[in-house]
Structure 1
Amino acid sequence: MTLAQRLSTVEARVRRAVDAMRAGDPNPDDPYRGLYLTPETIDALLTGPARQALPDEAGPAPEVAALTALAKAFGLSELDVEVLLIAMAPDLDPRFERFYGYLNDDVTRRRPTIGLALELCGVAPADPAGRARFGAGAPLVAHGLLTVTEPERPLLSRTIGLPDRVTAHLLGDQAPDAALAGIATVAEESVVDTEQAARLGRGLAAGLSPVHLVQRAGAAAPELAVAALAAAGRPAVLVDAAALADGEPGEVVAIALREAGLRGGGLVLGPLEALPDRGRRRLLGLLTGPGPAPVLLYGNRQWQTEPGRPGPVSIPVTPARAPDRVDAWQAAVGEHSVSTPDDAVIASALAPYRLGAGQLAAAARAAAGLAVLDGGELTAHHLRAGVRAQNGSGLARLARRVEPAVGWADLVLPAAHRAQLGEMVQRARHRDLVLRQWRMRPGGGRGAGVLALFAGESGTGKTMSAEVVAGELGLDLYVVDLATVVDKYIGETEKNLDRIFTEAAGVNGLLLFDEADALFGKRTEVKDSHDRNANMESAFLLQRMESFDGIAVLTTNLRANLDEAFTRRIDVIVDFPVPEAGQRLALWESCLGAELPRASDVDLEFCANSFELAGGSIRACAVTAAYLAAEADRPVAMADLIAAIRGEYRKLGRLVLRSEFGDWLAEG
């Protein structure tokens, strides 16, 4: 049966109501009916019988598939369905506007009122059950299927109507509500096919809702939610919580929940941490109550249930195993005409990254596109570039992003220290295998992160080494700016640090805390409130680092200033020494480079043997000498290097001694 046939029942009732009204009207053909009342009309109203609800003589209403599905999804009664049809009629047939204007006895009110809708449905105006179907908690109003306007009027005089999206849905239009543009998307199919998705899908099919998916770094909670809904035979309406910050989130989410109900699907919302504080409690209350569609929420933290209120079922979501990630990568790349490495090479290249299924597919497409531009052969370089393209901007707002531009060849360190850096790389690459599959760090809520401490004097290569490690792993380097972290107000520093760790867990990058002793210093005896608050910051950092799933490096000039509790949790500690003469010579050669022209009198062995400078100071001297040569428009001469070294000595507060400079002191 069609919707038009169902509406014919409404038209029959309207015609009978019009006939009944005309029979009791002393002047039914008055063209100004509805604009004023004549004395004859007043007499008829006073002497005539009270207006009664119409009996239903139209017979049983024919079924409409879309209407039946809507009634089932939203828990509507037959009276609710009839009210929907009455309210929708003017949107499909303009004649109903004139009918309703006549029945309302007001030509300016061309939509049905609650009283008129009850009359047409054969329900007495004073019937409590009928009136209750228009209350704020009733399904029609609560789920946004019916709008009730003019709240200042008595209940029976309030006008009702249908939102355009509901009308469009009943007419077969499946385009999402325009209010969800840029906020929500509809997913009919899934890119994930796992046992966890199938198990969750069975739960959703059995009525499990709401569900809270707690994801670890690299897990794919939204993709799992879409897959579970697909397994239950439902499409998914995905709402990006970060896009709700500007407007009223409750209103938008209510529309998204209605959209999911109209489609017979489910609502997926997250990450919860991105929700604005304003209205969050009301929003979550809306989603955790009974609704027309299953609700799946996701985030990085455990659900905080309010006392006395039931919360959702929490389900942990762990990252995909290496074989599954390789299969997903090969499937995504297979859509492009590129040659790919074998599975072992891909598994090794993907090991350092934490990628959900959607991120992995997007990274694979980006890498394949770059490979096409370079001739069609996909390499590890393309893979890493594709992964970095998926990094969001959230962490970049809290830390300075550095794209690694140095490698092992640029690093001048003793062999033992290079081996320690290599150990850190190994830990980052194989942490899934060792920590998760082999369970070498079980219990205690410990994360799968890799933490390193680089200690040594200023300029000994700590920051550069972190950049080299990041480059070797194919990661971006994020340098935490302490000015954006430390706050004079109590509790704000912890909040800033928590935001950094939360964002870092979802980014494929290496987190660098430069001058870490400012944050990770020793706890002291509590003598006043300042000591207590400082110790609370340290305690928070200890707990947060314990559960951290990313890769982080702490650098310090004074290792002794760090709390022992932090060093116990650190996986790799590298003590950077002041370079010896042979290493200083290599640093001079590296810092001057092959492109900079040199005069014949440049004696780098003299510089290396005579001046005990760290790598950072040598680099500064090389740059200063290059500027002096550029100004003089000639190659770099030994005099330029000596002048630069003397300037560096002054910066460091060191004495300029003839025993170090020799004959160059007089010439400089």
Structure 2
Amino acid sequence: MTTAYRAPAVRETGGSPSADIEELWARLGDIERRVRHAVALRQETDPEPNDPYRGQYLTPAAAERILDSRDAFLPVPAYGPDAAPDSPDSPAGGRIAALAQRFGLVAPDLDLLLVAMAPDIDARFERLYGYLNDDLTRRRATTGLALELCGLPAAGPGRFRFSPSAPLVVSGLVEVLEAERPLLSRVLRVPDRVTAHLLGDDAVDGRLHGLVRVAGPPEEPDPCPTTLRAAAALGTGSGLVHLLDRGGDPGRIAADALLAAGLRPLVVDAAALAAAPEPVRAARILATEARLTGGGLVLGPLETLAPEQPKGAGLIDGLCEAVGGGSPLIMYGKKHWDPLWAAESPVTVPVPPPDPADAARRWRRALTGAGAPAGLAAGTAAADARLVDATRAYRLDSGQIRRAAAVASRLAGLEGRPVEARDLRTAVRAQNGAGLARLARRIEPTVGWDDLVLPPSTRRQLSDLALRARHREQVLGRWRMRPGGGRGRGIVALFAGESGTGKTMSAEVVAADLGMELYVVDLSSVVDKYIGETEKNLERIFVEASDVNAVLLFDEADAVFGKRSQVKDAQDRHANVESAYLLQRIESFDGIAVLTTNLRANLDEAFTRRLDVVADFPVPDAEQRLALWERCLGTEIPRAPGLDLRTCAERFELTGGSIRACAVTAAYQAAESGRPLDTDQLVSAVLAEYRKLGRLVLDSEFGPWLERARR
């Protein structure tokens, strides 16, 4: 006897089930009628319908009945004249209709899906399916039972709807389990996420926890031309788009492009996907999630997946195949798309860096969102100008800006004042990853322009380096002053001079002026005796340095940037290859690099043409040495009344580094003697420095202090 299906009570804010759930209940009611009819037919032909142990063993009568049947080749009996009207040939609307459209399902596919899903919604179907399977332990629909309930012969074309390439299976809507069993006895399972979606749940699949997040809309719609172009590219074919990062914010642009197209952006963590236990399976789940909710996937940076390796390329190809044009897929990275990565080629859209005004707007929105008080977040013309000046040297994406704004807001809140430029600089430095720190020595600048004692010409060159770093996006980006030949947006400077003349300290001052950190490359960790390893080490340093807001310092650069020579043996050939690699790599570098050398003549002339700034550091004259003595001794150490710094500055030709060493040695002597620092202690320290450097000790320089020092 057929009865109407009674849906479980569903509590909602409106007090009644939604239209989507009502449609689902109506379809399950049709499935129930079919199950009732199948149970009745089974009881009519069952020789022992009341056997309590039915399904546990096979009786002779049951075996005879099985031998006499040819179910696979007979048409499935109809389930009564009134069974079909509630099962429409095509979905009318709602979530079921959207599901059919997004996954390319027809009416039989929907029936099979609902038959497989029924036990997950109503527990009664578990026991009924156990009875119909003739095995009370198998409480899900098998492929044979699903075909029977949907009126499809087991030997007909319906069985191919469970093949690996069928829409239900390839899209992940239905899982066919127990592959070792015959096809008709394999169990069907619908993932919980699919069931939850049809019941009205739009939360991301729990199996994707830590792999994907849903990007929200921006607080202020600000579609830039690149975003609009990326959105237009989504509708030019399969929806596969590659954003080529040229210093911009491709992740945010990809999400905005999907939002502009009316889609839900699902941002994938590329590192987490690559580290997943089964990344290819995770890619299929991602594709199913995107199609379920009518969203699009954002994946990047591609460099994280190492696409040049077979595993990384296979993962990209697997994701593209899983999506299959059913959902938009936007990938981004700094590398050009390689056709070997996937069977399909994307539409490539370059992403240039934002102009300073746009970057300032992002900073202000982030500061406001972080709850920062007035000041740089005020939104006035003066505040915007200060914000542009404070952030123009940085290259950050939207996520880094948001995190840095939160840190800056908390730093200012600790002191109960508005956010200042120094807070932003500290917060930006906190966004630098530890990758470069593993390859170079990290220095947080603690000196400023007032600590330098240099000739005016050298100071002008240092100021030129700083202003190039601050305005490079405007000059090289907006004004398109970058030359061709693959030249990057980096700034490369050479500091040439004797040891101790202030080259490293000047690099620290420039980094402090830009609000950045200084990373000193340890050449002992770079140069390798094995052929090709030095280039690999340098490549890792250049790649890491391009992603951080820092100044990269190659101290004693002539060790790796030396001149090319005439090839006489394999060693010369390798040295020339190394120099040629550096010539090309320094041109494509996008960061800020400083090379220092004691012997400028040892550098290859081809490097000089590629340098943006060349600063010479001469040995300081007498007036500069006097200023260095004053700065190195400071104001805390007690001085004797007769301390004659001018005489020391005029008599002893020392560099700044040597003067500092002498000042420290003299301070130790004063601390040991317990009396103020006097000229004798200072000259004694100079004498020790001369001997350390191997310089001649002349009477004309030391005069009467030489005899005192020998006593």
Same fold (TM over 0.5): yes
Taking the aligned partners of 1:115 and 1:184, their CA distance within structure 2 comes to 37
Match of 1:417 among 455, 458, 483: 458
The one-letter code sitting in structure 2 at the alignment partner of 1:317 is V
Match of 2:145 among 95, 105, 116: 116
The one-letter code sitting in structure 2 at the alignment partner of 1:332 is A
> Is the deviation greater in 605-614 or in 407-416?
605-614
Taking the aligned partners of 2:393 and 2:351, their CA distance within structure 1 comes to 19
The one-letter code sitting in structure 2 at the alignment partner of 1:61 is S
The one-letter code sitting in structure 2 at the alignment partner of 1:133 is R
Could you tell me how far 1:269 is from its partner in structure 2? 0.6
Q: Cα distance 1:76–1:487, how it changes in 2: closer, same or farther (>3 A)? A: farther
Equivalent residue, structure 1, for 2:374: 338
Could you tell me how far 1:643 is from its partner in structure 2? 4.2
The one-letter code sitting in structure 1 at the alignment partner of 2:361 is D
Conserved in 2, the CA contact under 8 Å of 1:338 and 1:372?
A: no
Taking the aligned partners of 1:329 and 1:603, their CA distance within structure 2 comes to 53
Equivalent residue, structure 2, for 1:103: 132
- Cα distance per residue 1:139-165 (max 9 Å; x no partner): 333332222221222222222212222
Q: Cα distance 1:554–1:55, how it changes in 2: closer, same or farther (>3 A)? A: farther
Equivalent residue, structure 2, for 1:204: 234
Q: Are 1:625 and 2:637 an aligned pair?
A: no
Conserved in 2, the CA contact under 8 Å of 1:319 and 1:356?
A: no
Q: Cα distance 1:667–1:180, how it changes in 2: closer, same or farther (>3 A)? A: farther
> Is the deviation greater in 371-380 or in 411-420?
371-380
Taking the aligned partners of 2:545 and 2:259, their CA distance within structure 1 comes to 31
Taking the aligned partners of 2:155 and 2:565, their CA distance within structure 1 comes to 74
Could you tell me how far 1:601 is from its partner in structure 2? 4.8
Could you tell me how far 1:308 is from its partner in structure 2? 9.7
Q: Are 1:184 and 2:220 an aligned pair?
A: no
Q: Cα distance 1:159–1:591, how it changes in 2: closer, same or farther (>3 A)? A: same
- Cα distance per residue 1:349-391 (max 9 Å; x no partner): 2221223344334434433443343343333222323332333
Q: Are 1:274 and 2:274 an aligned pair?
A: no
Q: Cα distance 1:80–1:220, how it changes in 2: closer, same or farther (>3 A)? A: same
Taking the aligned partners of 1:179 and 1:644, their CA distance within structure 2 comes to 69
Q: Are 1:138 and 2:166 an aligned pair?
A: yes
- Cα distance per residue 1:424-444 (max 9 Å; x no partner): 112112222322233222432
The one-letter code sitting in structure 1 at the alignment partner of 2:84 is A
Taking the aligned partners of 2:524 and 2:106, their CA distance within structure 1 comes to 60
Q: Cα distance 1:357–1:188, how it changes in 2: closer, same or farther (>3 A)? A: closer
The two structures have a TM-score, normalised by structure 2, of 0.88
Q: Are 1:74 and 2:92 an aligned pair?
A: no
Match of 2:328 among 286, 294, 297: 294
Equivalent residue, structure 1, for 2:203: 175
Taking the aligned partners of 1:565 and 1:610, their CA distance within structure 2 comes to 40
Q: Are 1:162 and 2:190 an aligned pair?
A: yes
Taking the aligned partners of 1:143 and 1:524, their CA distance within structure 2 comes to 61
Match of 2:87 among 47, 61, 71: 61
* Matched residue SS, 2:442: strand
Q: How does 1:488-567 map to 2 (within 5 A)?
A: 488-567=529-608
Taking the aligned partners of 1:49 and 1:142, their CA distance within structure 2 comes to 31
Could you tell me how far 1:666 is from its partner in structure 2? 3.2
Match of 2:286 among 250, 256, 266: 256
* Matched residue SS, 1:133: helix
Q: Cα distance 1:308–1:100, how it changes in 2: closer, same or farther (>3 A)? A: closer
Match of 1:6 among 23, 27, 50: 27
Conserved in 1, the CA contact under 8 Å of 2:412 and 2:423?
A: yes
Conserved in 2, the CA contact under 8 Å of 1:212 and 1:314?
A: yes
Taking the aligned partners of 2:388 and 2:537, their CA distance within structure 1 comes to 35
> Is the deviation greater in 473-482 or in 521-530?
521-530
Conserved in 1, the CA contact under 8 Å of 2:521 and 2:554?
A: yes
Could you tell me how far 1:632 is from its partner in structure 2? 4.8
Could you tell me how far 1:510 is from its partner in structure 2? 1.2
Q: Cα distance 1:94–1:581, how it changes in 2: closer, same or farther (>3 A)? A: same
The one-letter code sitting in structure 2 at the alignment partner of 1:262 is L
How many residues matched? 666
Match of 2:256 among 227, 236, 254: 227
Conserved in 1, the CA contact under 8 Å of 2:233 and 2:241?
A: no
Q: Are 1:91 and 2:125 an aligned pair?
A: no
Could you tell me how far 1:259 is from its partner in structure 2? 2.0
Equivalent residue, structure 1, for 2:316: 284
The one-letter code sitting in structure 1 at the alignment partner of 2:366 is A
Q: How does 1:558-597 map to 2 (within 5 A)?
A: 558-597=599-638
Match of 1:21 among 13, 19, 42: 42
Taking the aligned partners of 2:32 and 2:525, their CA distance within structure 1 comes to 67
The two structures have a TM-score, normalised by structure 1, of 0.93
Conserved in 2, the CA contact under 8 Å of 1:190 and 1:226?
A: no
Conserved in 2, the CA contact under 8 Å of 1:34 and 1:105?
A: yes
Q: Are 1:327 and 2:358 an aligned pair?
A: no
Conserved in 2, the CA contact under 8 Å of 1:183 and 1:239?
A: yes
The one-letter code sitting in structure 1 at the alignment partner of 2:98 is A
- Cα distance per residue 1:459-512 (max 9 Å; x no partner): 111111011011111112122222333334443333332232222222211111
Q: Cα distance 1:593–1:138, how it changes in 2: closer, same or farther (>3 A)? A: farther
* Matched residue SS, 2:552: strand
Taking the aligned partners of 2:97 and 2:667, their CA distance within structure 1 comes to 80
Could you tell me how far 1:322 is from its partner in structure 2? 2.2
* Matched residue SS, 2:162: coil
Taking the aligned partners of 1:146 and 1:328, their CA distance within structure 2 comes to 44
Could you tell me how far 1:555 is from its partner in structure 2? 1.0
The one-letter code sitting in structure 1 at the alignment partner of 2:54 is R
Structure 1: 5+ residue runs without aligned partners? Answer: none
Match of 1:454 among 492, 495, 516: 495
* Matched residue SS, 1:126: coil
- Cα distance per residue 1:164-217 (max 9 Å; x no partner): 222222222222223333332111313652132123223324555211111122
- Cα distance per residue 1:27-74 (max 9 Å; x no partner): 122222222111121122123453553546433526462222222222
Could you tell me how far 1:639 is from its partner in structure 2? 4.6
Could you tell me how far 1:637 is from its partner in structure 2? 4.3
Q: Are 1:151 and 2:185 an aligned pair?
A: no
Taking the aligned partners of 1:255 and 1:298, their CA distance within structure 2 comes to 20
Equivalent residue, structure 1, for 2:339: 305
- Cα distance per residue 1:239-268 (max 9 Å; x no partner): 121233433432333322222222211100
Match of 1:46 among 61, 67, 74: 67
The one-letter code sitting in structure 1 at the alignment partner of 2:573 is R
* Matched residue SS, 1:459: coil
Taking the aligned partners of 1:645 and 1:23, their CA distance within structure 2 comes to 114
Could you tell me how far 1:271 is from its partner in structure 2? 0.6
> Is the deviation greater in 621-630 or in 141-150?
621-630
Q: Cα distance 1:528–1:287, how it changes in 2: closer, same or farther (>3 A)? A: farther
Q: Cα distance 1:106–1:266, how it changes in 2: closer, same or farther (>3 A)? A: same
Conserved in 2, the CA contact under 8 Å of 1:523 and 1:538?
A: yes
Taking the aligned partners of 2:438 and 2:207, their CA distance within structure 1 comes to 29
Taking the aligned partners of 1:307 and 1:215, their CA distance within structure 2 comes to 18
Conserved in 2, the CA contact under 8 Å of 1:89 and 1:96?
A: yes
Equivalent residue, structure 1, for 2:5: none
The one-letter code sitting in structure 1 at the alignment partner of 2:411 is L
Conserved in 2, the CA contact under 8 Å of 1:417 and 1:574?
A: yes
Taking the aligned partners of 1:453 and 1:436, their CA distance within structure 2 comes to 24
The one-letter code sitting in structure 2 at the alignment partner of 1:268 is V
- Cα distance per residue 1:282-335 (max 9 Å; x no partner): 111123331431100010111111299432111100011222223333333344
- The Cα RMSD (Å) is 2.4
Equivalent residue, structure 2, for 1:239: 268
The one-letter code sitting in structure 2 at the alignment partner of 1:286 is G
Q: Among the aligned pairs, what percent are the same residue?
A: 57
Taking the aligned partners of 1:490 and 1:74, their CA distance within structure 2 comes to 53
Taking the aligned partners of 1:644 and 1:244, their CA distance within structure 2 comes to 61
The one-letter code sitting in structure 1 at the alignment partner of 2:46 is D
Q: Cα distance 1:568–1:152, how it changes in 2: closer, same or farther (>3 A)? A: same
